[in-house]
Structure 1
Amino acid sequence: MYNCDCDDCKKQNTVLNLGISDSFKQLLNDGLNAFKHLHKKGSYKPEDLKTEKPYQKLIQSTFDAFDFAIKDNDMPEAMRTALQDDARLFGSLKANAQLFEASKLLLTPDGRLKPFSEVSKDFDKLNVNYNQNYLEAEYEFAVASSQAAAQWANLGGDRYSLQYRTAQDERVRASHQALADITLPKEDPFWNSFYPPNGWRCRCVAVEVLKGKYDESDSDKAIAAGEKATTEIGKDGKNRLEIFRFNPGAQKVVFPPAHPYGKVKGAKEVAKSKESKFIPKSLDIYEKTLGVKVDKTFFNYLGKETALVQESKYNPNGAYYNPAENYVRIPFDDRRKNSKWYSEAIVYHEFGHAADWHRDMKQNKAVTKLMKEYKTILSKDQAFIDVHKKLYKVSDEARANNDFDKLEQCGALADTMMSINSNWGYGHSKAYFARKGNSAAEFIAHTFENKFAGNPVFKEVIPELYDKMILLADELKPKE
């Protein structure tokens, strides 16, 4: 699936085989056990992945291999969680692919189950292919993709552009070399599709450079070069490299969303089982209109289906949750269009209010304990003053640079401060926080923002509270 017969691929396979760890070799044992269990059952269906322990062990071991690559990077917790969720899904899709392929070997033409001795050699071949040969290429891609996502999450301000760079050796593909030194703002559409890695075993990177230090590239020409670099028409007439037209950091995924594992029979059922049944029906329109990707696993916090609407007959202003009619209203206004971070975070915030209403999170002891802890820690005015100084310094810089994402992140922190002590911060009014339950409600909503969208400003100014809110979100997860 991942190799050609060129000398470079053969050489790279040798290097990878020599370096593969014992934990990866364990996957071969887990794969063999899964195939033995498949033969014992005599058939396979995607729902078996949720009930059969040997299959679950195979998925977990596959995830563990990729998680090793993800955890070896410094990135916001929200990004790490999203990448781990994607790696778990990929592990499930991969297990489905190999078990489905193996299941086609089970029966004779007249429908009788073959003896294990008759299929064992074919099982061994499949096992080595999926859990060693394919795994090596997938792991290497996971390393590069995770590094790219971490870098994207930690990009600097508007003073910087991004520049495409290759490894600058004889192994660089000519099509990738054509992208070398392309320099464009991080907002340019080129990076949505051609942020490296751009293929299996791609070693290219994007680096930040000061604006003005290099001439800015022509975006249309850069995109055309990117399309050429990710085009290889197979015998079936399809472009084999089009799957690499994605951005790991912007989309918060490790593997290409259009990977072939997702096209195997049963893959749709596997993917749906990982998502919440409470995903709003209009969410895809919201994502496409505002150019964001929302983490679908978040909606598992809800207790029932909750509509997402753009307009409301009651309150025409802003975003909010209406508990009486159980819907969330989020307009497609300039505030959301100006900040990709806010247009994603507001979904977690407002549907966080819905989850709170559905499951009465305000009464959760973990919520009240953490709020009380930080009300005590920040009880002295000087403590709030110190936080305010740091916050306003970041806010002033963001305002000077028209950094709308950072301004919104400042506002989220300031509103969280008010939820702890309404004498400090800004956001909602003091009258709002005087109403019973509203302080806890806002604290919970900002907890979900931190967990799923991340907030670099919050993490910089009050890192200890930020980390504890991430853990709180995990505690609030519904029990399966």
Structure 2
Amino acid sequence: MLENKGVIINAGLHLKTAEKLISAVSNGVSISDDDGARQLADKLRQNIYSFSAAKSFTQMMYYRDMMIGDDGHILPVGSFIKKIADTGEIFNKKFLTTEYENAHYSAIMASNWESFQDDDLLQYSTVGDSNVRPSHAAMDKYTAPKSAAFWRVNYPPNGWNCRCSVVPGKGHAINKLTEAEAVRQLTAENKDTPFYNNVGISKVIFKDNHPYFINSNGKETDLSWEQYGMNNIAKIRAEALAPYVTASLEEYVKWWNQQDKIKNSESIGFLDMFGSRIVLKKDSAKNGIYQHAKNVEFIITHPDEVWMKPSDKTRKVYLKYFEDETIKITVNNINQIEAIITIKKGEASEVKKLNEARKGVLMYR
């Protein structure tokens, strides 16, 4: 794979990293049947997949650089393995452990932010031991309204392995720092880092000034199936695929009337394979896609591939391969289904349409 210049990301490594970090988010956000918590988890999950792709891109480029010896020639396999012996441990254990802890605590703090009311007083709180950074200790017990500018850039976590938190404040609290001093307290150490942030507001754990994002320079958002080292459509169709069955208008109407509707709406919702609630509006189902409506839940819970499109208003694409066609479901950034498209096997534009669909940040294969 390293010698194939067309492969930029190891899809397996990328998805394994994402899975690990998403488990940290899942352990930090209690979802139950709360749509608000689901939306928060969905936003954090999207950031995790982009981060994992950028990390895997950085790791692949690093290994490629290590393949070249001091004389400018490709190293023998034995020399190359010796040269990178410790890097897998660094990328996939040491760094990943720290990234996991940061994702987990960030998810907790994002969830806590959502639970505070807009007019709440909040208090910065350290654990109070000798390991607390002096700059963080200076803000201990600082109290300000949730709407204060202070919280936009000083909401924990404020650094790797930061244990600070925010608790409800008291109206009679007297601050040691002025508002201006408090806002500036972490500017010097955090301004150019991913921690100059409020994860509860941004819904972003790993900001775009993280070194991995800087290294990938946005390339991770628009990579193709080829650059992930995945199979082409010919190899996919070499496997036995199930036939696709559509519904008549009469069958669709009967099915639609049997579905539980989302409260105060003429829409229905399904949980996809990630636990996100995907909404199918009545008008969408009537607008030429009624033949597919009964299959939506199966496709979004059992897709063959899912792609995120950060540069597009369509946030996600679910693909399912069948015997004579591929079904493509596009979902916008508020998880509403925008289109269900049939890409017929053997049609003149099949490969072009699939190449367009199989591009972005890979979320599942």
TM-score interval, normalised by the smaller of the two chains: 0.5 to 0.7
Q: 1:152 deviation in Å? A: 1.5
Q: Are positions 1:268 and 2:218 aligned together?
A: yes
> In the alignment, which of 14, 20, 23 is matched to residue 68 of structure 1?
23
Q: Are positions 1:253 and 2:204 aligned together?
A: yes
Question: SS of 2:205's equivalent?
Answer: coil
Question: SS of 1:118's equivalent?
Answer: helix
Q: Which residue is equivalent to 2:11?
A: 56
Give, in whole Å, the separation in 2 of the partners of 1:126 and 1:368: 58
Q: Are positions 1:205 and 2:155 aligned together?
A: no
Q: Are positions 1:373 and 2:256 aligned together?
A: no
Partner amino acid for 2:264?
A: M
Q: Are positions 1:417 and 2:264 aligned together?
A: yes
Q: 1:48 deviation in Å? A: 2.9
Partner amino acid for 2:219?
A: E
Question: SS of 1:206's equivalent?
Answer: strand
Q: Which residue is equivalent to 1:351?
A: none
Q: Which residue is equivalent to 1:80?
A: 41
Give, in whole Å, the separation in 2 of the partners of 1:48 and 1:170: 44
Q: Which residue is equivalent to 2:147?
A: 187
Give, in whole Å, the separation in 2 of the partners of 1:197 and 1:477: 39
Q: 1:214 deviation in Å? A: 2.7
Give, in whole Å, the separation in 2 of the partners of 1:250 and 1:167: 24
Change (3 A) 1:368 1:225: farther
Partner amino acid for 1:183?
A: T
Residue by residue over 1:254-287, the C-alpha shift from the partner in whole angstroms, topping out at 9 and shown as x without a partner, is 22331111111x432113449xxxxxxxxxxxxx
Give, in whole Å, the separation in 2 of the partners of 1:115 and 1:137: 33
Output the TM-score relative to the length of structure 1.
Answer: 0.47
C-alpha contact (below 8 Å) 1:248/1:254 kept by paired residues:
yes
Q: 1:110 deviation in Å? A: 5.7
Q: Are positions 1:116 and 2:66 aligned together?
A: no
Gaps of 5+ in 1: 1-36, 50-54, 232-238, 275-362, 376-412, 421-435, 442-451, 453-469
Q: Which residue is equivalent to 1:162?
A: 122
How well do the aligned residues superpose, as a CA RMSD in angstroms? 3.6
Q: Are positions 1:225 and 2:175 aligned together?
A: no
Change (3 A) 1:214 1:133: same
Question: Is the strand fraction higher in 1 or 2?
Answer: 2
C-alpha contact (below 8 Å) 1:419/1:439 kept by paired residues:
no
Q: Which residue is equivalent to 1:97?
A: 58
Give, in whole Å, the separation in 1 of the partners of 2:206 and 2:253: 35
Give, in whole Å, the separation in 1 of the partners of 2:221 and 2:212: 11
Give, in whole Å, the separation in 1 of the partners of 2:84 and 2:163: 33
Q: 1:208 deviation in Å? A: 2.4
Partner amino acid for 2:94?
A: N
Question: SS of 2:123's equivalent?
Answer: strand
1:1-12 matches, within 5 Å, as none
Q: Which residue is equivalent to 2:194?
A: 243
Give, in whole Å, the separation in 1 of the partners of 2:25 and 2:129: 26
C-alpha contact (below 8 Å) 1:44/1:99 kept by paired residues:
no
- What percentage of aligned pairs have identical amino acids? 24
Give, in whole Å, the separation in 1 of the partners of 2:165 and 2:72: 52
Change (3 A) 1:438 1:215: farther
Partner amino acid for 1:114?
A: L
Structure with the larger RCO, 1 or 2 (CA within 8 Å, 6+ apart): 2
Q: Which residue is equivalent to 1:143?
A: 104
C-alpha contact (below 8 Å) 2:58/2:212 kept by paired residues:
yes
Question: Is the helix fraction higher in 1 or 2?
Answer: 1
Output the TM-score relative to the length of structure 2.
Answer: 0.60
Residue by residue over 1:159-215, the C-alpha shift from the partner in whole angstroms, topping out at 9 and shown as x without a partner, is x211110011111111110111111111111111111000001000112235x2534
Q: Are positions 1:178 and 2:138 aligned together?
A: yes
Partner amino acid for 2:23?
A: F
Give, in whole Å, the separation in 1 of the partners of 2:210 and 2:139: 23
